[in-house]
């Protein structure tokens, strides 16, 4: 009986199977890369705003505290967007005719809110509370980056679940004294620059971040790792 398949058929079959596996692996890797890219996360991309507000100018240059504008950040789940009146506390007296501030003046005179484009916009199925993070010693910098160095606001981190879980699995790496939460110049402790903090009513000095973070975790009564990595903590 004559041979139906060429003797190279087995080799071609094995090569085609290997090719399909490699192709699927490449597609999967490309999808994962795309899913973490700025195209999806908008990381490091400053969206267009009605007014080119500069945190660098106001926070670093003028020394405004975060809470001057974000008044509810310590007590509410939302940091809060300041009303136009907050802007006009200063701009009724300085830069009163600046063209770039025309939308601010119109908003104030008309009572119509400025339509800001939200930069840190989590999906609706994610619950995030600003106040609980601040009151547990998580600094603004940990999530928002070096805001006082941003001429235009952008998303410093991906805000994806794997990024959140990195902190929730080991918050000791990020905790700082509550008095330093809004300090953009704060540095984690080193042997050359220790950090002093009150622990259980006693002032202690730390030269290592993990040691400081562990002490603060107990001092601020953080929940267990199992609790803060539970699905229901963020997805309600």
CA dist 132 and 13 (Å) reads 58
- The CA dihedral of 220, 225, 228, 230, to the nearest 10 degrees, is -160
Q: Both 137 and 186 in a single domain? A: yes
Residues 28 and 134 both lie in one domain: no
* pLDDT for res 2: 65
Beta-carbon contacts of 206 under 8 Å, excluding residues fewer than 6 positions away, are: 189, 194, 195, 196, 197, 212, 215
User: Distance between CA 108 and CA 172 in Å, rounded?
Assistant: 44
| Same domain? 66 vs 160 | yes
Check residue 1 and give its pLDDT: 57
The pLDDT, as a whole number, for residue 89 is 96
| 7, two tokens | 């003797």
Give me the percent of the chain exceeding a pLDDT of 90: 84
- Over 90: is that where the pLDDT of 199 sits? yes
The answer on 125 and 28 residing in a single domain is: no
Q: Is 80 left (phi over 0), alpha (psi -120 to 50) or beta?
A: left
Mean pLDDT check: name the lowest of 5-14, 123-132, 171-180, 205-214: 5-14
128, 122 Cβ separation under 8 angstroms: yes
Q: Kindly report the number of other CB atoms within 10 A of residue 57's CB atom.
A: 14
91 domain-assigned: no
Q: Is the same domain home to 168 and 214?
A: yes
| Mean pLDDT, range 48-56, rounded to an integer | 96
Q: Are 70 and 23 within one domain?
A: no
Residue 226 in any domain: the answer is yes
Alpha helices by DSSP H, listed for the chain, are 9-35, 38-41, 55, 66-69, 84-91, 102-110, 130-134, 140-144, 161-169, 209-219, 225-228, 231-234
Residues 64 and 163 in one domain: yes
Q: Is residue 109 part of a domain?
A: no
pLDDT band for 168, please (50, 70, 90 cuts). very high
Residue 39 scores a pLDDT above 90: no
Whether residues 141 and 197 share a domain: the answer is yes
| 120 plus 37 within the same structural domain | no
Do 37 and 17 share a structural domain?
Answer: yes
Tell me the per-residue pLDDT of 105-144, one tens digit each, with 9 for 90 and over: 999 999 999 999 999 999 999 999 999 999 999 999 999 9
Task: Measure the CA–CA gap between 215 and 35, rounded to whole angstroms.
Answer: 36
Instruction: Please give the tally of structural domains in the chain.
Output: 2
Residue 93 included in any domain:
no
φ/ψ (deg, to 5) at 115: -95, 85
The Cα–Cα gap between 107 and 114 comes to 6
Tokens representing 192 are 């050359």
Give me the domain span that covers residue 182.
42-81+116-234
184 and 216 fall within a common domain: yes
Q: What are phi and psi of 202, to 5 degrees?
A: -120, 140
106 within a domain of the structure (yes/no): no
Kindly state whether residue 88 falls inside one of the protein's structural domains: no
Tell me the per-residue pLDDT of 63-112, one tens digit each, with 9 for 90 and over. Answer: 999 999 999 999 999 998 999 999 999 999 999 999 999 999 999 999 99
Based on the domain organization, do 37 and 59 belong to the same domain?
no
Average pLDDT value for the chain:
93
pLDDT at 7: 74
């Amino acid at each position: 009986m004559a041979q139906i398949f060429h003797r190279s058929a087995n080799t071609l079959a094995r090569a085609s199977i290997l090719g399909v596996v490699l192709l699927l692996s490449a597609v999967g890797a490309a999808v994962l890369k795309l899913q973490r890219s700025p195209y999806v996360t908008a990381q490091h991309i400053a969206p267009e705003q009605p007014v080119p507000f500069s945190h660098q100018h106001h926070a670093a240059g003028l020394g405004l505290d975060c809470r001057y504008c974000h008044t509810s950040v310590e007590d509410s789940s939302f940091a809060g967007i300041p009303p136009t009146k907050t802007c006009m506390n200063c701009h009724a007296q300085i830069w009163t005719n600046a063209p770039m501030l025309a939308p601010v003046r119109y908003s104030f005179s008309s009572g119509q809110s400025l339509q800001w484009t939200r930069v840190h916009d989590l999906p609706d199925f994610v619950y995030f509370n600003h106040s609980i993070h601040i009151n547990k010693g998580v600094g603004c910098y940990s999530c928002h980056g070096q805001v006082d160095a941003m001429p235009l606001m952008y998303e410093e981190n991906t805000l994806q679940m794997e990024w959140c879980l990195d902190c929730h699995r080991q918050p000791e790496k990020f905790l700082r004294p509550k008095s330093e939460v809004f300090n953009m110049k704060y540095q984690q402790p080193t042997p050359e620059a220790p950090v002093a903090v009150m622990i259980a009513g006693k002032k202690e000095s730390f030269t290592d971040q993990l040691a400081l973070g562990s002490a603060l975790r107990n001092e601020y009564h953080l929940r267990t790792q199992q609790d803060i990595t539970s699905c229901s903590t963020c997805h309600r």
